[in-house]
Every structure is written in structure tokens, then in C-alpha cells.
């Protein structure tokens, strides 16, 4: 039995905009968990969502796919998505490698 | 239990007081108090003879009058029953709480199951005893309250069994193993042995599980099962259940029934040896379709299987049917996805003048997720094109997308010169699809000693020489994902003895038991040690080290392809694709 990656998703009620903070490893095994949190968050506050990915230590292509899909969905349904970039090298690498760092709505300066 | 005991003590004190008062008064007054209780109450003297039994106790013990009970020795009454504790251990007269009190021991309430030999009826009783003391504080007699907890106990057992069975049914997609687990769970809680038969579309039955409470007698049960023909009589027993989809119950199996069911003398002998007491066969049904049946047999325990057992068995059988169907659909999907995936890899690596080649493809262990990685290699107008990629998403959709990408690349290569243009063409094709279709791809063209490389959202290829390992090429965006995307060609001269290796992130993302990733650094270190070796050897060794790292488990597809420029520029022959295809146990992702 394959052990799922460790991922924690927390709502951040003290932030100005609806925010989910995501910590840990975002891969094939943990993507469904984040997707679930996002769905219920959007259901309760449908205007905007910030995903704080600064605590992400690892991301694979399925994690990236989730972000791309989310970005398309935000554009289609007319709500605002913003992303706070990961700090960890292995997660930023995937974003840079795929061009997602420029194409997805990351806040602040481009990823180094 | 502590609370029960405290209650018992309070009850006892009150009861003793009331009894003392009553005994000082009249027998009639005592009987008015205790006689009206619905729980059986008995009082026994120091020799364990009955001094008193209320109406409920008489009925419970199966006596019509007090006189009849008084004339019967307690041991005789007990011998009418098979008495066991909750663990199934036999309970002797000496274990009964009232008898223990007489021996001067503490007597906690005792939960027992009784099965009457004659009727096979099973009851669960909670026995609570308290001493009646004389004026010197010596035990004069004991009073015992027998609480019938059959309903509660059976409900508890049913819930526990259903929970265990549901967990077992959900634990694996190998449904035959799952059915064996469920059969194991059914003994001894429900029956002494349990068999599960499946029936195929042609109506042939096949026993997939036989479990017996006693492993030694399992042999007998299995031997018996072999006598059941593949095509069973649709009018009787198992055949009738498989034919009608309705359960059949034989509360009491008689010798005449065995004789009628036997196909030959040996079969009859086996049937008699099993010692059938009671038989219950329930269908495993999904709507109108009958997938098989569960057979439950009571033998050694002499218990009669009743309505309650039937309901429980039917519930489990219905869940088992759903689990079988789920597993069948799932394994069919996995098979299709795997088949498609196999089709998407070149059967054989070609011979390229001046190079030798090696490749590996390890599909994910979780077969539902088959269909991520692909690679291809082909010749167009004197150039060799090599491509590797990862379609995000899994299963049949991913396999279909892989096919699209691969065929698009092959077609576009006929008129697009550079790898960057090829990626751009695939990107445009993917963006025309109605649903989000993205993939990573690394493409390089090999012409003489020059490689032209373009990368779309994929790990950069590694250039391996005796001097070390480095990434080559430039990162470009994922295909199919972003507007206004552009790709760059980079060129590289391959020196004699050098290797260019392209891989998917299944390698670097592989986790070990401590959740540590294999990582790019470890990959580069490994490849440094393997520099200048023939490509196939390098790939084999890399696969072996990856295997050691992951301790036999990998969660994602893994692919790599390497081209090694021969030291002398000579051509080695074509080599079969080195594909390590593993078919690990099918498990559900947790």
C-alpha cells in the first residue's frame, strides 16, 4: 500500500482575503485532499481565493495540473485566484521548469 | 464492567434486605417480589440444589413446574446445553458465578452462550450472582440473576462482523483474496464453515473460498467442495440459490437430506463426516445478476442457523457482490489502460549509427494510474528524433492523450524541422481539445554527433561524460497549458563515449521508506559512477539502484531513454526495448 504524501491545508480566517495555506507535499496522492478543500472554500466564498503555497516542500506534475485547472476555472467562472509562491527549491523548480511561474497568477516578484 | 459491578452490589444489598424481610414474613410475600421479575432468578443452597426459581427461571430452564426442576440435578440441566464463554471456551459448572461464590471466590458477572443440544437454539446470558449470608456472616445460599442478552450480543456481533467484513471487502481489489478474507471472518462467529462460490456467464460455478473453524477439518470441507459439480442442480441447494437468487435455509439437516444430495457413495460419506447440523445459502446478487453464493454451515457447534443469521449473511453477500463488481470493472479498466500503454512504447529500439541505446519503462504499481509516461524514437529524413514525456492525468484518458501526442509528433516531424517547432505544434494541438490537456515533453534530434534539444515543462536531459554530469538544454513551458508559449532549441556536440539521458520525474520523485526523494543530486551522482558505460548497462544499473532505493514500491510511472555515443563511433546492433513491467498487487490508493 502506497503511503500518501503529507499535506496539510488550513483556512486562514485572519487574512484580508479568503486564503488556504497549504503545507507539505503536493503530489498524486495528496492532490485530492487539496481539491476537496478548495471546492468547499469556493462554495462558501465564491469571489476570490488565495492559495498560500509557501509551505509546499514538493510538487509534482499532478499538483501543477491542479493549479492550471484552478486558474482556468477562475477565469471561466469569473472569480479571482492568486497564488503565493512556494519557498522550497524542489517546488519552485517544477513551476519554473514548466513556465507556470510566469503563466499562473503568482503574487509578488517572479520566482528566483 | 466496573459500573455493572457497583450496580450489582447495590442491587444485592437491596435484594438481600428485601429477602431477609420477606423470609421473616411469608413465602408468598417473597414470591410476590421475586416471582414477578421478568429476569430469571434462582436461589441455591450450599450444595447447589435449587431452593427457589421464579417463573421466568422455570421457563428459561425449560421446566413446567417447580417440582420438576427441584427433582433434577443442576449438572443434568447443564448437560443439555453446550455452554461457552464469549471467547468460545467451554464453561464448566465450576465457572458459574454462584458456584464460585460457594468456593469463597469473588464472582464477577459471566457472559455465556448456550446452545441447546436438542434444538440448536443459541442464547446469550449474563449471569450475576450474590451470596445470602446467615447471621454469622457465612454463606447460606446464593442468588443468581440470569439476564438474557441474546439480542444485544447478536447485534454487537453483527455490527462487528459487518464492520470487519466491509473493511475486508474494501481492502483489496483482488476479489478472490477478499472473498477468502470474508469467509475467514464468518467462522466461528456465524458458522463453523463458510464457502464462497462464484458463477460465470456460462452458469459454471467455481469455489473460491472455503474457511473452517478447525483447520484440520478444513481438508474435509475442501474435499467435499470438490464433489460439487461445476453445473449444479438448479432445483436444489446451491443450484437453486444460483438459479433463483433467493436464499435457502435448512435449519436441521437430516441424514435423508444428505443421502438425497450425495452424488456418490464417497460424497455421502464425506457429507456424513462433516456432521451437518444446519445449512444456509445466500446469493451474492447485484440487481438481477447473480454473481455467486455464500454457504454457511453449522456442524460442531450444533447451533441452528436462523433468520438472524440469514439476514446477516445476506447483508454480507450483498456487499461482497458490490465489491466483486467493483474489482472486475477496475481490473478491466487497468487491463485496457495497460494495453494502451504498451502500445504506446516502441517495441524495439532501433540501431542508430555511431550510438547504442537503452531505455526503461516502469509503470506505476497502482495499476489504476497507468498511463502517464511515454517515449518514442524514430527516423525522419536521416535524422533521429527521440521524445520522452509525461501526460498528467492517469488511466484511459491519459493513455488516449499519450497516443494523440505521439502521433501528432510523428506526423509533424515530416514537415517541422526543429524540436522546438514540434513542441509548438503539439502545444497548439492540445489547446484545441475541449478539456484541459497538458503534457511535458522533451524532444531531441540526433544528427551525426549533434543533438538539438527542446524542452517543454520537462526535466532537462543529462549529459554524462567522464568529467561529470550536467543538465543541458533550456526550460520551456508545459505543452497545452499556457497562452503565447515559446520553445527554444539548444544544440550539443556529443563527444565520443558520452551519453545523453532523458528521464521522467518518476525517477527523481521516487520515495524511499522514510519519504525521502531520490532527487536530481542522487541521480547525477549515480550517473557519474556509470559514465562511459554502454547505454543499456547504464540504464539497467540505474533501474537496479532505483529499485533498491524504493524498496520495491514506486507510485508513479518511470521512464528513461539514453543514447551513448560509441567511443570508436561504431554501431551496435538494435537492442530490444528494456522494459521492466511489473504487475504488483492491485491495491486501492489510501
**Chain A residues in contact with B553 (beta carbon < 8 A):** 2
- pLDDT bin (cut points 50, 70, 90) of residue B329 is confident
Q: State the DSSP code for B394.
A: -
pLDDT reported for residue A2: 44
CB-CB contact of B296 with B186 (8 Å):
yes
Chain B, residues 372-391, CB within 8 A of chain A, namely 390
Beta strands in B405-488 (DSSP E): 439-447, 450-456, 462-465, 468-471
Distance CA B585, CA B368 (A): 11
Exposed/middle/buried for residue B71 (C-beta within 10 Å: 0-12, 13-18, 19+): exposed
Query: CB neighbours of B416 closer than 8 A, spacing ≥ 6?
Result: B422, B425
- Indicate if the pLDDT at residue B417 is higher than 70: yes
ipTM of the complex: 0.82
The answer to whether the Cβ–Cβ distance between A99 and B459 falls below 8 Å is no
Cis before B506 (ω within 30) = no
Query: CB neighbours of B321 closer than 8 A, spacing ≥ 6?
Result: B284, B285, B286, B291, B292
Query: CB neighbours of B197 closer than 8 A, spacing ≥ 6?
Result: B205, B206, B207, B208, B228, B238, B242, B292, B293, B295
Least Cα separation, residue B41 to chain A (angstroms) = 54
pLDDT reported for residue B25: 55
**Chain A residues in contact with B460 (beta carbon < 8 A):** 97
Give the N- to C-terminal CA distance of chain A in Å, as an integer: 37
pLDDT reported for residue B320: 86
The arithmetic mean of pLDDT across residues A7-18, rounded, is 88
Beta bridge partners of B558: B362
The arithmetic mean of pLDDT across residues B438-450, rounded, is 94
The arithmetic mean of pLDDT across residues B379-403, rounded, is 85
The answer to whether the Cβ–Cβ distance between A65 and B556 falls below 8 Å is no
The arithmetic mean of pLDDT across residues B282-302, rounded, is 87
pLDDT reported for residue B530: 94
Which pTM value belongs to this model?
A: 0.55
pLDDT reported for residue B403: 84
Least Cα separation, residue A15 to chain B (angstroms) = 30
pLDDT reported for residue B473: 95
pLDDT reported for residue A45: 87
B317: nearest Cα among B196, B421, B403, B447: B196
- Indicate if the pLDDT at residue B524 is higher than 80: yes
pLDDT reported for residue B50: 84
Q: Does B458 touch chain A (CB under 8 A)?
A: yes
The answer to whether the Cβ–Cβ distance between A100 and B555 falls below 8 Å is no
C-alpha cell of residue B362: 516502469
CB pairs under 8 A between A and B: 80
**Chain B residues in contact with A7 (beta carbon < 8 A):** none
Cα torsion B145, B150, B151, B156: sign: positive
pLDDT reported for residue B586: 29
> How remote is the C-alpha of B256 from its chain's centroid?
40
pLDDT reported for residue B337: 63
B200 vs B91, B175, B203, B489, B586, CA distance in Å? 46, 14, 5, 57, 22
- Indicate if the pLDDT at residue A11 is higher than 80: yes
Task: Look at B41 and B17; give whichever has higher pLDDT.
Answer: B41
The answer to whether the Cβ–Cβ distance between A2 and B509 falls below 8 Å is no
Instruction: Kindly report, residue by residue over B526-541, the tens digit of the pLDDT.
Output: 999 999 899 999 998 9
- Indicate if the pLDDT at residue B388 is higher than 60: yes
Least confident of A25-39, A57-71, B200-214, B488-502: B200-214
Least Cα separation, residue A70 to chain B (angstroms) = 11
pLDDT reported for residue B561: 94
Query: CB neighbours of A1 closer than 8 A, spacing ≥ 6?
Result: B587, B590
C-alpha cell of residue B154: 447478536
Task: Look at B150 and B33; give whichever has higher pLDDT.
Answer: B150
Q: Does B590 touch chain A (CB under 8 A)?
A: yes
The answer to whether the Cβ–Cβ distance between A103 and B483 falls below 8 Å is yes
Instruction: Kindly report, residue by residue over B541-571, the tens digit of the pLDDT.
Output: 998 888 888 765 556 778 899 999 987 655 4
Amino acid at each position: 500500500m502506497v503511503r500518501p504524501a503529507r499535506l496539510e491545508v488550513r483556512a486562514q480566517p485572519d487574512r484580508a482575503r479568503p486564503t488556504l495555506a497549504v503545507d507539505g507535499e503536493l503530489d498524486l496522492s495528496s492532490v485530492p485532499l487539496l481539491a476537496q478543500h478548495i471546492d468547499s472554500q469556493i462554495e462558501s466564498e465564491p469571489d476570490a481565493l488565495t492559495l498560500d503555497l509557501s509551505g509546499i516542500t514538493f510538487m509534482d506534475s499532478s499538483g501543477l495540473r491542479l493549479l492550471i485547472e484552478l486558474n482556468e476555472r477562475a477565469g471561466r467562472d469569473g472569480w479571482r485566484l492568486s497564488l503565493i509562491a512556494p519557498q522550497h527549491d524542489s517546488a519552485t523548480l517544477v513551476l519554473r521548469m514548466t513556465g507556470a511561474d510566469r503563466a499562473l497568477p503568482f503574487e509578488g516578484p517572479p520566482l528566483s | 464492567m466496573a459500573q455493572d459491578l457497583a450496580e450489582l452490589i447495590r442491587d444485592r444489598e437491596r435484594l438481600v434486605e428485601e429477602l431477609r424481610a420477606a423470609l421473616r414474613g411469608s413465602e408468598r410475600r417473597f414470591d410476590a417480589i421475586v416471582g414477578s421479575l421478568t429476569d430469571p432468578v434462582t436461589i441455591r443452597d450450599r450444595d447447589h440444589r435449587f431452593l427457589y426459581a421464579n417463573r421466568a427461571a422455570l421457563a428459561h430452564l425449560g421446566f413446567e413446574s417447580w417440582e420438576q426442576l427441584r427433582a433434577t440435578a443442576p449438572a443434568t440441566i447443564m448437560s443439555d446445553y453446550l455452554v461457552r464463554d464469549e471467547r468460545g471456551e467451554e464453561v464448566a459448572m465450576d465457572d458459574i458465578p454462584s458456584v464460585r461464590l460457594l468456593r469463597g471466590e469473588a464472582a464477577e458477572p459471566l457472559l455465556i452462550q448456550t446452545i441447546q443440544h436438542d434444538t440448536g437454539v443459541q442464547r446469550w446470558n449474563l449471569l450475576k450472582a450474590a451470596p445470602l449470608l446467615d447471621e454469622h456472616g457465612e454463606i447460606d445460599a446464593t442468588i443468581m440473576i440470569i439476564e438474557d442478552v441474546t439480542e444485544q450480543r447478536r447485534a454487537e456481533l453483527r455490527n462487528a462482523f459487518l464492520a470487519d467484513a466491509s473493511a475486508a471487502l474494501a481492502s483489496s481489489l483482488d476479489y478472490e483474496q477478499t472473498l477468502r478474507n470474508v469467509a475467514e471472518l464468518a467462522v466461528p462467529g456465524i458458522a463453523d464453515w463458510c464457502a464462497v462460490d462464484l458463477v460465470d456467464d456460462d452458469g459454471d460455478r467455481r469455489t473460491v473460498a472455503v474457511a473452517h473453524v478447525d483447520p484440520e477439518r478444513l481438508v474435509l470441507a475442501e474435499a467435499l467442495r470438490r464433489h460439487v459439480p461445476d453445473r449444479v442442480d438448479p432445483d436444489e441447494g446451491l443450484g437453486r440459490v444460483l438459479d433463483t437468487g433467493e436464499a435457502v435455509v435448512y435449519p436441521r439437516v437430516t441424514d435423508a437430506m444428505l443421502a438425497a444430495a450425495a452424488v456418490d457413495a464417497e460424497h455421502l460419506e464425506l457429507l456424513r463426516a462433516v456432521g451437518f447440523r444446519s445449512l444456509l445459502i445466500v446469493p451474492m446478487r447485484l440487481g438481477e445478476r447473480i454473481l455467486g453464493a455464500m454457504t454457511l454451515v453449522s456442524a460442531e457447534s450444533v447451533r441452528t442457523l436462523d433468520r438472524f443469521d440469514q439476514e446477516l449473511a445476506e447483508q454480507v453477500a450483498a456487499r461482497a457482490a458490490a465489491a466483486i463488481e467493483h474489482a472486475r470493472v477496475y481490473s478491466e479498466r487497468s487491463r485496457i489502460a495497460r494495453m494502451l500503454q504498451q502500445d504506446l512504447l516502441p517495441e524495439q529500439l532501433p540501431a542508430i549509427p555511431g550510438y547504442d541505446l537503452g531505455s526503461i519503462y516502469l509503470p506505476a504499481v497502482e495499476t489504476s494510474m497507468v498511463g502517464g509516461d511515454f517515449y518514442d524514437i524514430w527516423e525522419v529524413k536521416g535524422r533521429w528524433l527521440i521524445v520522452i514525456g509525461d501526460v498528467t492525468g492517469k488511466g484511459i484518458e491519459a493513455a488516449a492523450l499519450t497516443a494523440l501526442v505521439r502521433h501528432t509528433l510523428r506526423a509533424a516531424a515530416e514537415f517541422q524541422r526543429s524540436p522546438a517547432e514540434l513542441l509548438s505544434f503539439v502545444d497548439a494541438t492540445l489547446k484545441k481539445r475541449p478539456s484541459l490537456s497538458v503534457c511535458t515533453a522533451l524532444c531531441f534530434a540526433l544528427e551525426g554527433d549533434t543533438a538539438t534539444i527542446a524542452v517543454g515543462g520537462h526535466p532537462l536531459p543529462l549529459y554524462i561524460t567522464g568529467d561529470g554530469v550536467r543538465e543541458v538544454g533550456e526550460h520551456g513551458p508545459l505543452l497545452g497549458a499556457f497562452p503565447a508559449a515559446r520553445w527554444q532549441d539548444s544544440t550539443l556536440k556529443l563527444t565520443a563515449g558520452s551519453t545523453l539521458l532523458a528521464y521522467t520525474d518518476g525517477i527523481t520523485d521516487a520515495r524511499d521508506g522514510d519519504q525521502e526523494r531520490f532527487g536530481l543530486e542522487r541521480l547525477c551522482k549515480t550517473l557519474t559512477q556509470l559514465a562511459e558505460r554502454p547505454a543499456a548497462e547504464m540504464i539497467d544499473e540505474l533501474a537496479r539502484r532505483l529499485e533498491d532505493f524504493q524498496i520495491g514500491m514506486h507510485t508513479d510511472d518511470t521512464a528513461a531513454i539514453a543514447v551513448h555515443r560509441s567511443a570508436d563511433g561504431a554501431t551496435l546492433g538494435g537492442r530490444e526495448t528494456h522494459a521492466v513491467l511489473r504487475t504488483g498487487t492491485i491495491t486501492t490508493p489510501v
